[in-house]
């Protein structure tokens, strides 16, 4: 085995050049656990080193080349065999040859485009990772390291309020209003509900935050609804003319930015679902989509120019009031 160069077994290690100073964030794995990963933004450089350690000194290691890759890919769980890569960068570190001692190789991917946010869902996973490979005749030696990417958005220029009327003819007529239609992930949903006509006995009222994940295209579309939060507005019977305030803090929930048609593979949308339950356990509901976006926290020195401008803009606009404009009138509410 040693004669053919198979007896030597190397160990690979990937280390980022700014590992000590770079921020790490929690991200959900496919198994539902939370683990910490290094955080990157769009346009940032990814650099580091690949260390190759020989387990058996003085024995030679034959190889067909050494490379490091930066990959962004989407994996649909119902189509495990196919990985859809939207970013694929390669750096060759060594030509085919042999080693008799451990080696270290530096690499740098400059200003890497990372267009989408990292995401792990019910039916789909979007991940970014570094992969180092020692190519060999029979079995390659591979080491991977995942990173997490957050996408920062600018403050929405148009952010009108949502105002809708919901009614059942001659039985129930309510009007609800939310202060905005677009919220950042640490925002507060502020609203009011007005009871204009109440002729059915309502015993309970709540607002749910629903995440809807859509994967696939055409006949192979899968919808997965997940109730992220339930917020009780009222427990008891309302009377005509009553007004109930709403304050729902988003920071305590596991939310992602709204994702629309990501690489034509999947979407993630969020809805506020107003639910009324009467004394006969009948449920009346009305859904309204809201847009969620990620607000920048700290301007990093190595952050891309676009992300830096976004964070500065948040600081400049956070004290401004939002203009209120009535949204389109709602259709009659659905009934389960």
123/191 same-domain check: no
Whole-number average pLDDT of the chain:
83
In a domain, 327, yes or no: no
Q: Give the pTM.
A: 0.80
53/166 same-domain check: no
* DSSP sequence for 269-312: EEEEEEEEEETT--EEEEEEEEEEEPPP----TTS-HHHHHHHH
Please report the pLDDT score of residue 327 as a whole number: 35
Quote the domain boundaries for residue 21: 10-149
CA dihedral 153, 154, 160, 164 (to 10 degrees): 10
230/113 same-domain check: no
Structurally, the chain folds into a number of domains equal to 2
213/110 same-domain check: no
In a domain, 197, yes or no: yes
Percent of residues, the chain, with pLDDT higher than 70: 86
In a domain, 316, yes or no: no
Domain boundary at 94, 116, 149, which? 149
Closest CA to 114 of 40, 21, 17: 40
Residue range 6-45, pLDDT digits in tens:
456 789 999 999 999 999 999 998 888 899 999 999 999 9
Please report the pLDDT score of residue 147 as a whole number: 97
Confidence of residue 316 (pLDDT cuts 50, 70, 90): very low
- Weakest mean pLDDT among 80-89, 209-218, 303-312: 303-312
Sign of the torsion angle spanned by Cα atoms 110, 133, 61, 92: negative
75/35 same-domain check: yes
In a domain, 27, yes or no: yes
In contact, 291 and 182? CB cutoff 8 Å:
yes
In a domain, 100, yes or no: yes
Domain boundary at 149, 184, 200, which? 149
In a domain, 250, yes or no: yes
80/119 same-domain check: yes
Alpha-carbon span 233 to 222, nearest angstrom:
32
Residue range 280-308, pLDDT digits in tens:
888 888 899 999 999 875 444 444 454 44
Q: Would you say residue 233 has pLDDT above 50?
A: yes
141/35 same-domain check: yes
Please report the pLDDT score of residue 110 as a whole number: 96
Confidence of residue 268 (pLDDT cuts 50, 70, 90): very high
114/232 same-domain check: no
Confidence of residue 179 (pLDDT cuts 50, 70, 90): very high
118/191 same-domain check: no
Which CATH number do you get for residue 112? 2.60.40.640
Q: Would you say residue 334 has pLDDT above 60?
A: no
195/132 same-domain check: no
Please report the pLDDT score of residue 322 as a whole number: 35
In contact, 195 and 216? CB cutoff 8 Å:
no
Q: Would you say residue 85 has pLDDT above 90?
A: yes
185/128 same-domain check: no
144/184 same-domain check: no
* 335 C-beta neighbours (distance < 10 Å), count: 10
């Amino acid at each position: 085995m040693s004669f053919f160069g198979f007896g030597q077994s190397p160990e690979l290690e990937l280390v980022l050049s700014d590992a000590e100073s770079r921020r790490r964030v929690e991200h959900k794995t496919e198994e539902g656990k939370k683990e910490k990963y290094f955080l990157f933004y769009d346009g940032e450089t990814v650099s580091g080193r690949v260390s190759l350690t020989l387990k058996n000194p003085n024995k030679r290691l034959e190889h067909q080349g050494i490379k490091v890759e930066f990959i962004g890919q989407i994996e649909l769980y119902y189509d495990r065999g196919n990985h859809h890569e939207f970013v694929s960068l390669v750096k060759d570190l060594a030509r085919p040859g042999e080693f008799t001692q451990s080696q270290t190789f530096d690499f740098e991917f400059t200003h890497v485009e990372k267009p989408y946010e990292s995401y792990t869902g019910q039916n789909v996973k979007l991940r970014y990772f570094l992969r180092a490979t020692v190519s060999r005749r029979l079995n390659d030696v591979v080491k991977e390291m995942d990173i997490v990417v957050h996408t920062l958005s600018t403050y929405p220029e148009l952010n009108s309020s949502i105002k809708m009327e919901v009614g059942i003819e001659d039985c129930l007529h309510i009007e609800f209003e939310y202060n905005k239609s677009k919220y950042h992930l640490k925002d507060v949903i502020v609203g009011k509900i007005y009871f204009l006509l109440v002729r059915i006995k309502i015993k309970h009222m709540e607002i749910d935050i629903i995440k809807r994940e859509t994967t696939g295209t055409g006949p192979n579309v899968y919808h997965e609804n997940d109730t992220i939060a339930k917020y009780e507005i009222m427990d008891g019977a309302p009377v005509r003319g009553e007004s109930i305030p709403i304050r729902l803090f988003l920071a305590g929930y596991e939310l992602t930015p709204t994702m629309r048609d990501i690489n034509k593979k999947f979407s993630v949308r969020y809805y506020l679902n107003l639910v009324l339950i009467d004394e006969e356990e009948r449920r009346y509901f009305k859904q309204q989509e809201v847009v969620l976006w990620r607000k920048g926290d700290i301007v990093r020195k190595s952050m891309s120019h676009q992300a830096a401008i976004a964070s500065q803009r948040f600081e400049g606009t956070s004290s401004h009031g939002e203009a209120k404009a009535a949204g389109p009138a709602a259709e009659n509410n659905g009934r389960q």
